[in-house]
């Protein structure tokens, strides 16, 4: 009886460790020691320049999936927090380092990622389909965070940004004027 219980526990432990748990950190500011910064910026309808993230209503979410995938095959991951320290210093459009945990990761696996914006701003709703970063893959930068004690996540060398797009107010105004004209003509 003892032998079967011990074997059962060892079998469960072996199945749980067949996959590790990977982790990777993303950031869009330059790494320590300098480098390139990639802020989130405004597109159509939002003015020009970098986004003031903490008060704009824009939510940034990391999407990911195992393998080299298309955008529609990705699942939502963690939400990035805006870097209010940078904003306080006058540097807009940066998010804090964000850890994405990958529960099915094993050494050598490739994962596809994308950063997407959503939300409601003072200029209107974010055009979610047009407010996505490029797709990119990570493999060697992912580190094992499973185990006891947990390991440290790896850090991506990619500094990913995107342009947040909001429908042009003039487009909406033209649509409204067109509808008003149709209603007026119909009444006559």
Q: Supply φ then ψ for residue 44, to 5 degrees.
A: -55, 135
Cα–Cα distance measured from residue 62 to residue 76, given in angstroms and rounded to the nearest whole number: 6
- pLDDT tens per residue, range 32-85: 767 788 999 998 777 778 999 999 999 999 999 999 999 999 999 999 999 999
**Which band of pLDDT confidence, cut at 50, 70 and 90, is reported for residue 143?**
very high
Cα–Cα distance measured from residue 15 to residue 9, given in angstroms and rounded to the nearest whole number: 10
**Which band of pLDDT confidence, cut at 50, 70 and 90, is reported for residue 31?**
confident
Q: Structural domain boundaries of the chain?
A: 20-187
Q: Does the pLDDT value for residue 181 go beyond 80?
A: no
Cα–Cα distance measured from residue 132 to residue 63, given in angstroms and rounded to the nearest whole number: 10
């Amino acid at each position: 009886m003892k032998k079967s219980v011990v074997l059962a526990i060892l079998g469960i432990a072996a199945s749980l460790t067949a996959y590790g748990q990977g982790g990777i950190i993303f950031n869009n500011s330059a790494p320590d020691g300098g480098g390139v910064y990639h802020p989130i910026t405004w597109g159509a309808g939002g003015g020009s320049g970098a986004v003031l993230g903490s008060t704009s209503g824009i939510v940034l979410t990391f999407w990911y999936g195992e393998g080299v995938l298309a955008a529609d095959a990705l699942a939502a991951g963690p939400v990035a927090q805006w870097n209010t320290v940078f904003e306080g210093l006058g540097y807009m459009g940066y998010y804090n380092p964000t850890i994405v945990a990958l529960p099915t990761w094993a050494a050598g696996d490739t994962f596809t990622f994308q950063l997407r914006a959503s939300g409601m701003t003072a200029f209107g709703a974010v055009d979610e389909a047009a407010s996505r970063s490029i797709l990119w893959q990570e493999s060697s930068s992912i580190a094992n965070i499973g185990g006891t004690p947990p390991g440290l996540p790896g850090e991506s060398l990619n500094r990913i940004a995107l342009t947040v797009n909001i429908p042009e107010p003039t487009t909406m105004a033209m649509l409204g004027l067109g509808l008003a004209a149709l209603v007026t003509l119909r009444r006559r």
